Chain A
């Protein structure tokens, strides 16, 4: 089945930019979605279809996808952005189509 690899952790100072990568074989040919999950809470969709934002998600959250890497960028990081982040794709050619990345913990210093 399709595998998505994320760095376990990313640390960033307030006001700086955090970049979270999601690696997968030719991931650029797929639509990538990103979720934020805070402790004890359900995930929240922050970016879908590579770079679109659901209503209510700040413009500080943006996404890109090309080649073998998709990236979630959080600009002007705030303390409230501290959370786990997961990428996700749908591999329709697979018998196991739903795939989440391994997850990245973002720590705001």
Chain B
């Protein structure tokens, strides 16, 4: 079993839809949770960073962490074609530990 799992997609939605991207993980020691966005043929860039359980909102993006279920989500409201990318979840146990990445979910937002 992989330490971090994501549905690879591809996920295709119409412009304006609400998108839900999810990751599950097996190690209960993870405390720091991240979402990276990766455009085609580019390097990943950090989108959201959360610590422990709860929600964090930034504009159209909301990150949610449920440590009891070992499940994290990224919601995108009013999705735009510019949101078309691969979304990687990532997590670490402490700020001194290596980051473990999920395989990524490919998202296409159709105009």
Q: Do A and B come from one complex?
A: no
